[in-house]
Amino acid sequence: MISQKTIAQIFETAKIEEVVGDFVNLKRRGVNMIGLCPFHDEKTPSFTVSPTKNICKCFGCGKGGSPVNFLMEVDNLTYPEALRVLAGKYGIEIEEDGNPDKSKEQRQHQESLYLINQFTKDFFIDQMNNTDIGKSVGLHYFKDRGFREEIIERFGLGYAPSDGKSLMHGLDKAGYEKTFYEKLGVVKNGRDFFRGRVMFPIHNLTGKCIGFGGRILKANKKAPKYVNSSEAEIYNKSKVLYGMYFAKNEIRKKDECILVEGYTDTISLHQAGIENVVASSGTSLTIEQIRLIKRFTPNIKILYDGDAAGVKAALRGLDLVLEQDLNVKVVLLPEGEDPDSYAQSIGTEAFVKYLDEKATDFILFKMKLLMEEAKDDPVKRSDLIKDIVNSISKIPDPIKRSVYIRECARQLDVGEKVLINAVNKNVVGNIQSRQRQQEINERRANRNAFDEAGFPIEDHSNDTSDDEFGPPDAHSDSKEFQTIGFQEKDIARILVNFGDREFNEDKTIAQFIFANIGEILDTFETEPYKAIVQEYLEAVKNKKSLSPQHFLNHQDQKIRDVALNFNTSPYEYSPGWLKRFNITTSQPVPDENFINDTTQALMRFKLEKVKELCEQNNDRIKAISMKDHPETVKRYLQVQMKLNGMRKEITDQLNTVVP
């Protein structure tokens, strides 16, 4: 685990304008910088970078954050991965907590695997470009496919010689351990695994080579046409999509992912300028691959050649895509064509037009295909309806399900109510199945759960006991909850932005807040504001203060997002109003008005909490009979008088009238 000292050094060193500048062309605008958002397609720049606050935000799509958050979002990195990338960029040595020797050993082990793959990739490239057999066989194959030199270089294409020893000798000479390169599978049983094949390196999302695909060039019934690297620590075929490293930014901008079957299809379309393309490498889509696409877009367009039997087989696995709430369209290419050949034959513009015109919603495409097969056979039509019902029931969005039911009922000439009942039955069945599986998983997880003293942990999640003065459901009145939520948000905002500032000579803003509302902190209801307040309270107890950067770089995504919203605005105070027109605002700007802002926010928060308690106590009085419980009613009335007095005192201070 990266030490807090190193993390703090990374946060202090990394400059948002430099990190974002590697991805976005920025221009100065006042104290900030602005550019086109890398997360969505836009013509008017709305992506703003604030060097003074060291954060960025797009006011179109809402994405942004600190340098670490930006890297996590733009390159789909984990929190530790983003920290390591920034540490490398700024030359910061990473210290480890816990067992640093073990962490370092694990990292070096993984890095060795990457280095071996990079060496292997460079070896294949060198063999193709600098040997006679490589040029005449490997390079000739790629050029014969119509690939230009720049696209061959971009994708790192190469050639594996057929002698079966060259790569192994090269790895040995370079000093790489035999156990490592055998674990990766580039060498097996004392021979090069890839022999006499053109090579397609497979990259992860950060551009590191994690594996290879090799295509045989000579027809051989005993040898498969394509082979892939063995699964290893850094390569899991089911979690990877070929070309995603090169396609991810364009997928995000186009808000659509085009999925093809093979390596050459992907490369050919990229060369044609259609760069939001990835390949499943000839396998059915897995749940991990679907979720990988979903990170960048909810829209997927799948291209199939004209083989109806192959298409029907491929469609069976696409219900997984529907379960992940992706919008799926299918494009059927003319018979005998694949994406590579068809794009080259008709040109990019015509190909893109074809995709737009022929793209058909997955469920409607599937229904049409099955209808052609079923024709007038009642048994087959019954199976068709069940198949379509099953697919619709996988869609999580009820509105989307309803639209599909209506359209399918019309096209299938089946009563809409019949389809609704069938879909609902399947939906309930799916939910119950997931719940049963979840219960099984929880029982397995709890089977070995013990507390620190060694006793089994008991589950009290279903306890229904309630304290006599316990608060009612926080969401029982949405209007009241919204008001309380707003006041809690305001307290959290002040803590995040100004908690470490001085309120007076004796207290910080955070200390002043907790000294005034400490007795009602437990009544906070709204997440993540509640989490922010609790974390800051612990810091104050330990005589620490937390800066805005602490929350902007928080490991909790929700807290990071809230802190970003607290620290950004699409509007700026223009100095021109004062300089040119001598116009001033009625009160200081927020960064200078935080003391008064804090005082006002505290009183409003207290007022809302007292009003809430008044209403709760009043409900109790109404619910109890004076005749049967005179002492209890008397006690509640005394509480009500005290609460009314507190309410009046606060409203007098705020100079407002209680409605």
pLDDT, tens digit (0-9, with 9 covering 90-100), for 386-421: 888 988 998 888 898 899 999 999 988 889 899 999
Domain boundaries, the chain: 4-89, 102-235, 244-358, 378-445, 478-654
Average pLDDT of span 104-113: 71
Are 567 and 53 in contact by the 8 Å Cβ rule? The answer is yes
What pLDDT is recorded for position 193?
94
Tens of pLDDT, residues 113-123: 889 999 999 99
What pLDDT is recorded for position 591?
57
What pLDDT is recorded for position 565?
83
Tens of pLDDT, residues 199-239: 999 998 878 899 999 999 887 767 788 999 988 888 888 88
Cis status of the peptide bond prior to 472, with omega within 30 of 0:
no
What pLDDT is recorded for position 481?
44
CA distance 94 to 552: 21
What pLDDT is recorded for position 526?
80
Tens of pLDDT, residues 277-290: 999 876 678 888 88
Contacts of 496 (CB under 8 A, 6+ apart): 532, 548, 551, 562, 563, 566, 567
CA distance 79 to 141: 42
Tens of pLDDT, residues 468-483: 333 334 333 444 445 5
Q: Which of 376, 354, 373 is nearest to 309 (CA)?
A: 373
Average pLDDT of span 249-264: 90
CA distance 149 to 147: 7
Residue 197: its H or E element: strand 197-203
Contacts of 513 (CB under 8 A, 6+ apart): 491, 494, 495, 499, 598, 602
| Bridge partner residues of 215 (DSSP) | 198, 226
pLDDT at 429 over 90: no
Contacts of 400 (CB under 8 A, 6+ apart): none
CA distance 485 to 487: 5
Q: Provide the greatest CA pair distance for the chain.
A: 106
- Crossing angle of helices 478-498 and 529-541, rounded to 10°: 40
Q: For all residues of the chain together, what is the average pLDDT?
A: 81
- Chain Cα centroid distance, residue 365: 29
What pLDDT is recorded for position 457?
41
Are 605 and 598 in contact by the 8 Å Cβ rule? The answer is no
Are 200 and 209 in contact by the 8 Å Cβ rule? The answer is no
CA distance 199 to 619: 75
- Give alpha helix (H) positions in 14-148: 16-21, 67-75, 79-89, 100-130, 132-133, 140-144
* One-character DSSP codes across 450-465: B-TTSPBPP--TT---
Per the model's pLDDT, the better-predicted residue between 578 and 376 turns out to be 376
What pLDDT is recorded for position 63?
87
What pLDDT is recorded for position 466?
36
Are 197 and 177 in contact by the 8 Å Cβ rule? The answer is no
Instruction: Tell me 43's DSSP state.
Output: S
Tens of pLDDT, residues 43-63: 788 899 999 889 999 988 888
Are 308 and 373 in contact by the 8 Å Cβ rule? The answer is no
pTM of the model: 0.62
**What is the residue whose two structure tokens read 């612990």?**
538
What pLDDT is recorded for position 572?
60
pLDDT at 160 over 70: yes
Tens of pLDDT, residues 516-553: 776 666 667 788 888 888 888 888 888 888 888 888 87
Query: What homologous superfamily is domain 4-89 in, according to CATH?
Result: Zinc finger, CHC2-typedomain (3.90.580.10)
CA distance 390 to 422: 9
What pLDDT is recorded for position 442?
61
Fold of 102-235: DNA primase DNAg catalytic core, N-terminal domain (3.90.980)
Question: What own/partner pairs with CB < 8 Å and gap ≥ 24 does 21-30 have?
Answer: 23/74, 30/572
CATH architecture of 244-358: 3-Layer(aba) Sandwich (3.40)
Instruction: Tell me 131's DSSP state.
Output: S
